[in-house]
Amino acid sequence: MEKEIFLVEGAGFCFGVKRAIDIAFDVAEKHKEGLFTLGPIIHNPQVVEKLRELGVNPLEDISDRLDIKTLIIRAHGIPKGKLEELKNYGFEIIDATCPFVKRAQKIAEKLALEDYQVIIIGDKNHPEVKGILSYAGEKAVVIKNSEEIPYINKKIGIIQQTTQPLSKVKEILNGIINSLSEFEEMRIFNTLCNFTSKRLEATEKVAKEVDMMIVIGGKNSANTNQLANLCRKIGVKTFHIEDAEEINSDWFRGVKKIGITAGASTPNWIISKIVDKIKCL
- 8 A C-beta contact, residue 252 and residue 281: yes
Catalytically annotated residue among 85, 128, 201, 245: 128
Neighbours of 2 (CB within 10 A): 4
Which helix (H) or strand (E) element contains residue 225? helix 222-234
- Name, in order, each residue with C-beta under 8 angstroms of 277's C-beta and a sequence gap of 6 or more: 244, 247
272: closest CA among 1, 3, 2, 12? 12
Q: Which is nearer to ligand SF4, 36 or 100 (CB)?
A: 100
Spatial distance between the Cα atoms of 120 and 171, rounded to a whole number of angstroms: 14
Active-site annotation holds for 128: yes
Q: Give the residue nearest to ligand SF4 (CB).
A: 16
Give least dist CB 271 to ligand SF4, A. 16
Q: Measured in Å, how far apart are the chain's first and last C-alpha atoms?
A: 10
Give least dist CB 40 to ligand SF4, A. 14
Give least dist CB 231 to ligand SF4, A. 18
196 contributes a contact to ligand SF4 by CB under 6 A: yes
Of the candidate spans 80-88, 190-198, 210-218, 228-236, the one that interacts with ligand SF4 by CB under 6 A turns out to be 190-198
14 contributes a contact to ligand SF4 by CB under 6 A: yes
Handedness of CA 122, 124, 126, 127 (dihedral sign): positive
Q: Binding string, 154-173, against ligand SF4, x = CB under 6 A?
A: --------xx----------
- 8 A C-beta contact, residue 70 and residue 31: yes
Q: Binding string, 207-226, against ligand SF4, x = CB under 6 A?
A: --------------------
Give least dist CB 261 to ligand SF4, A. 14
- Within 54-193, residue ranges assigned H as helices are 80-87, 99-113, 127-133, 166-177
Q: Which is nearer to ligand SF4, 183 or 189 (CB)?
A: 189
75 contributes a contact to ligand SF4 by CB under 6 A: yes
Handedness of CA 78, 82, 84, 86 (dihedral sign): negative
Give least dist CB 238 to ligand SF4, A. 21
Residues forming the active site: 128
List residues near ligand SF4 by CB under 6 A: 14-17, 75, 98, 100-101, 162-163, 193, 195-196, 264
